[in-house]
Structures are given as C-alpha cells and as structure tokens.
Amino acid sequence: MNSLKKTYFFVVTFVTFFLFLSNMAHAQLYTVSGKQVKSSSTASPQLTCTGVKVTKQVKIVSVTGSNAGFWITDGKSIIKQYYSPNDKTSIGFLLNPGTYYVYPRLQSTQTTATVTLGLN
C-alpha cells in the first residue's frame, strides 16, 4: 500500500508541475516603450513610440524609465495619465484589446525622457 501512495504522490506532483509549466508557456508578456526628446532646434518635443497591439485584456505589471510620469493613448485619445516618475499606482491598470502607445513626461531638467511598461 505504501508503494501505491508513493506512485499516486509522484503522478499528482508530475501533473501539477506539467500544468504549471504549460501555463507559464502560454503567459505572454508585452512591452511598450516611449520616448520624448526636447531639442533646442525645434519648438515642440519629439515623441516616439512603436505601440503594442494586445489581443486580450492585459494589466500593467511593471513601469521603468527616466520620466516625470507618462500617459497612455490608443492613438485617438488619452486613456490614462500619471504624474509621478515611474508611477507605481499604474501597476494593475487594465487595458482592453487594442493598440496602445505610451509617452513619458519630461522632468524640468531633462532633454530626454523614457518609459517602458510591462503588460501581462
């Protein structure tokens, strides 16, 4: 009987581990990065972001960069704005399927600002 318990334990452990790895393989992490550059030769700062298309609802899981906050847009309107450097209150914010862009705010002493969001 002891051998049967060990076999059962092994099978349950193996199946649990396999399901865990399977879920990890299907989890997709998206990133979207933006940049703002203020040049003395132009009146307006230059904004760049390639955007990210998400096919399911995702949430912000990380924010990094050098900025005074940032804003998220869908290309037509601003979805959400944050006003603190790498604002951690953005963690957990949900984005529905669509294409999104993110742009950093310049700090008063900066000529270049960056932001990267991790989405999952």
What pLDDT, in 10s, does the model give residues 66-104? Answer: 999 999 999 999 999 999 999 999 999 999 999 999 999
Q: Could you tell me if residue 23 is inside a domain?
A: no
SS3 60: strand
The per-residue pLDDT for 44 is 87
Number of domains in the chain: 1
Q: Could you tell me if residue 16 is inside a domain?
A: no
Cβ contacts of 117 within 8 Å, gap of 6 or more: 31, 32, 33, 60, 62, 63, 72, 90, 102
The per-residue pLDDT for 26 is 45
Question: Which among 110, 49, 40 has a CA at the least distance from the CA of 75?
Answer: 49
Q: pLDDT tens-digit profile of 28-40?
A: 599 999 999 998 8
Q: Could you tell me if residue 6 is inside a domain?
A: no
C-alpha 18/C-alpha 40 separation (Å) is 57
Q: Are 30 and 101 in contact (CB under 8 A)?
A: no
The per-residue pLDDT for 11 is 54
β-bridge partners, 98: 54
Mean of per-residue pLDDT scores for the chain: 86
Q: Could you tell me if residue 48 is inside a domain?
A: yes
The per-residue pLDDT for 41 is 79
What is the extent of the structural domain holding 60? Answer: 29-119
Q: Could you tell me if residue 103 is inside a domain?
A: yes
**Which pTM was predicted?**
0.76
Q: Could you tell me if residue 61 is inside a domain?
A: yes
Q: Could you tell me if residue 21 is inside a domain?
A: no
The per-residue pLDDT for 22 is 47
Q: Could you tell me if residue 12 is inside a domain?
A: no
Tokens standing for 113?
């600002």
